[in-house]
């Protein structure tokens, strides 16, 4: 079977030619003979449940059996360049998939966490005006994935087939609409909640907009490269978000405000919100270079650690039991109940950007996996309990514009820029 290693061996030929100035009109076709061994039969798309087409499954007609035995399953791993790595990482609720995107990305990538393989690349359209990685969300039942596109739109795909099922389009033309959607979430019954120029609730099956909640002071935390200080209650009934100096909870059925809480300090940077298993609203943020955690219902607080910066990446796990802090290429995680630090990771990187760039990190819904990526580092999945690296999703770093197999499956063609 042709694996990632085989593809990378072919790519070595290309990376030995250092390409300083791409010439888009010059395309080189490289043919490399591949003598495939008789592989173990690959699972069908139905067996895998992810819509991954194998060459053997596609073979048919005269000589189909011979082709079935000879052709390898094609899994193309492209990864990200060293300059712009995965700056948005979102696990599916079951932890089987990791969705990633990068700065100014016009597509998201879906990876299988158990094998490191890139399964799909889903086009979002034009990048949003803020040039950050698009917001991404999986449905609670793992069936759908959504991502923000350009022009104030959100696209939704069926995970198993890669088919686009809806484009949810808000109005265009205003300055706020130009920044696009910076928060997406699915309710348990698969309504889609988006935040951009307004809070919008959509019916997924029809694409119909069910409710629009306008607001002149919507949270701008979504522009910092994360989902920001916005969280959906576990039952999907209320959206809680921060404004200039307060935290508001909005009933999505009626559009009315049901809770208004003043921020615990005058200046809270990198504010994030979450709900713990008891349903209590949590807030975390940096105050004068100290990471603080508040329970806004019991009105208690914890001072967790000094920080290097006033603005660092923070993120709660979905169940609110863990809080993640990323500074430069160090990831630290605390238990929100006890306030104890549970793990610290050093993310390997090129060293070129280590003084001023950050890794980007995320937690799986069950808190068992950590995904990291970003500038100058590969996309890596870690075991949260031990800090052990489980897999690394590295791919080519040179510019390759087209890759395909010949019809008989024995040759691989790559198109690259040459100077």
Confidence of residue 82 (pLDDT cuts 50, 70, 90): very low
Contact between 281 and 248 (Cβ < 8 Å): no
Is residue 48 predicted with pLDDT exceeding 80?
Answer: no
The model's pLDDT over 344-399, given as tens digits with 9 standing for 90+, comes to 999 998 877 767 778 889 999 888 999 998 888 888 999 998 999 998 886 433 33
| DSSP code for 359 | E
**With contact defined as beta carbons under 8 Å apart, do 184 and 222 qualify?**
no
Strand locations in 330-417 (E): 330-335, 341-346, 359-363, 369-374, 379-383, 389-393, 400-405, 411-417
In this predicted structure, what is the pLDDT of residue 356? 73
Q: Is the pLDDT of residue 308 over 70?
A: yes
Instruction: Give the model confidence (pLDDT) of 100-111 as tens digits.
Output: 988 777 889 999
Give me the CATH topology for the region 88-262. Methylamine Dehydrogenase; Chain H (2.130.10)
What pLDDT, on a 0 to 100 scale, did the predictor assign at position 339? 94
Structure confidence at residue 323 (pLDDT): 95
Q: Is the pTM of this model over 0.85?
A: no
Predicted local confidence at residue 43, as pLDDT: 37
CB-based contact 316:323 (threshold 8 Å): yes
Q: What average pLDDT does this structure show over 10-29?
A: 30
Average pLDDT over residues 163-186: 85
131: pLDDT confidence band, cut at 50, 70 and 90?
Answer: low
Q: What is the mean pLDDT of the chain?
A: 74
User: Which two three-digit tokens encode residue 162?
Assistant: 């890669």
With bands split at pLDDT 50, 70 and 90, how would you rate the model's confidence at 214?
confident
196 falls in which pLDDT band (50, 70, 90)?
confident
Confidence of residue 310 (pLDDT cuts 50, 70, 90): confident
Query: Which tokens is 394 given?
Result: 């590295």
Q: How confident is the model at residue 246 (pLDDT cuts 50, 70, 90)?
A: confident
Task: Identify the pLDDT of residue 383.
Answer: 93
DSSP class per residue in 312-337: -EEEE-TTSSEEEEEETTEEEEEETT
CA 412/CA 406 separation, integer angstroms: 6
Cα separation, 167 vs 351, in Å, equals: 40
Report the distance separating Cα 97 and Cα 34, nearest Å: 29
Band (pLDDT 50/70/90 cuts) for residue 63 is: very low
Question: 386 versus 16: which is more confidently predicted?
Answer: 386
What tens digit of pLDDT does each residue of 248-298 get? Answer: 899 999 989 998 888 777 788 889 999 998 889 999 999 999 999 999 888
When mean pLDDT is compared across 20-24, 52-56, 321-325, the lowest value belongs to 20-24
User: For residue 6, what pLDDT is reported?
Assistant: 33
Give dist(CA 124, CA 106) in Å, integer: 5
Task: Give the per-residue pLDDT at 269.
Answer: 87
Residue 245 and residue 247: Cα distance in Å, rounded? 7
Tokens of 280: 């209590």
Burial class (CB in 10 A: 0-12, 13-18, 19+), 313: buried
- For residue 125, what pLDDT is reported? 79
pLDDT in tens, 64-77: 444 344 444 444 44
Annotate 121-172 with three-state secondary structure: EEECCCCCCCCCCCCEEECCCCCEEEEECCCCEEEEEECCCCCEEEEEECCC
Residue 132: pLDDT band with limits 50, 70, 90? confident
The pLDDT-based confidence of 41 (bands split at 50, 70, 90) is very low
The residue ranges of every structural domain in the chain are 4-76+399-417, 88-262
């Amino acid at each position: 079977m042709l694996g990632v290693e085989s593809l990378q061996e072919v790519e070595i030929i290309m990376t030995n030619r250092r390409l300083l100035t791409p010439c888009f009109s010059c395309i080189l076709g490289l043919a490399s003979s591949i003598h495939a061994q008789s592989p173990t039969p690959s699972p069908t798309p139905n067996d895998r449940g992810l819509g991954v087409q194998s060459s053997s499954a596609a073979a048919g007609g005269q000589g189909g059996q011979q082709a079935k035995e000879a052709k390898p399953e094609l899994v193309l791993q492209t990864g990200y360049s060293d300059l712009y790595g995965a700056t948005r990482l979102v696990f599916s609720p079951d932890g089987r998939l990791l969705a990633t995107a990068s700065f100014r990305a016009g597509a998201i990538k879906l990876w299988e966490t158990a094998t490191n393989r890139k399964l799909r690349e889903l086009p979002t359209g034009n990048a949003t005006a803020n040039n950050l990685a698009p917001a991404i969300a999986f449905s609670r039942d793992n069936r759908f994935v959504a991502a923000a596109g350009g022009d104030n739109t959100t696209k939704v795909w069926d995970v198993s087939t890669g088919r686009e099922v809806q484009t949810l389009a808000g109005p265009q033309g205003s300055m706020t609409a130009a920044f696009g959607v910076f928060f997406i979430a699915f309710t348990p019954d698969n309504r889609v909640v988006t935040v951009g120029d307004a809070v919008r609730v959509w019916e997924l099956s029809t694409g119909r907009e069910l409710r629009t909640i306008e607001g002149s002071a919507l949270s701008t935390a979504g522009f910092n490269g994360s989902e920001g200080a916005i969280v959906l209650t576990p039952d999907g009934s209320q959206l809680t978000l921060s404004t200039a100096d307060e935290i508001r909870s909005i009933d999505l059925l009626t559009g009315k405000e049901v809770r208004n809480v003043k921020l615990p300090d005058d200046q809270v940077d990198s504010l994030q919100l979450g709900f713990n298993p008891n349903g209590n609203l949590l807030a975390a943020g940096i105050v004068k270079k100290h990471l603080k955690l508040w329970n806004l219902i019991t009105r208690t607080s914890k001072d967790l650690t000094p920080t290097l910066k006033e603005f660092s990446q923070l993120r709660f796990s979905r169940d609110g039991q863990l809080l993640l802090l990323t500074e430069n290429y160090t990831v630290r995680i605390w238990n929100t109940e006890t306030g104890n630090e549970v793990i610290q990771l050093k993310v390997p990187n090129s060293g070129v950007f280590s003084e001023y760039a950050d890794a980007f990190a995320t937690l799986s819904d069950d808190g068992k996996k950590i995904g990291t990526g970003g500038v100058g580092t590969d996309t890596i999945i870690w075991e949260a309990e031990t800090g052990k690296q489980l897999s690394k999703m590295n791919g080519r770093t040179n510019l390759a514009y087209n890759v395909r197999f010949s019809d008989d499956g024995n040759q691989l063609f790559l198109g690259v820029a040459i100077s």
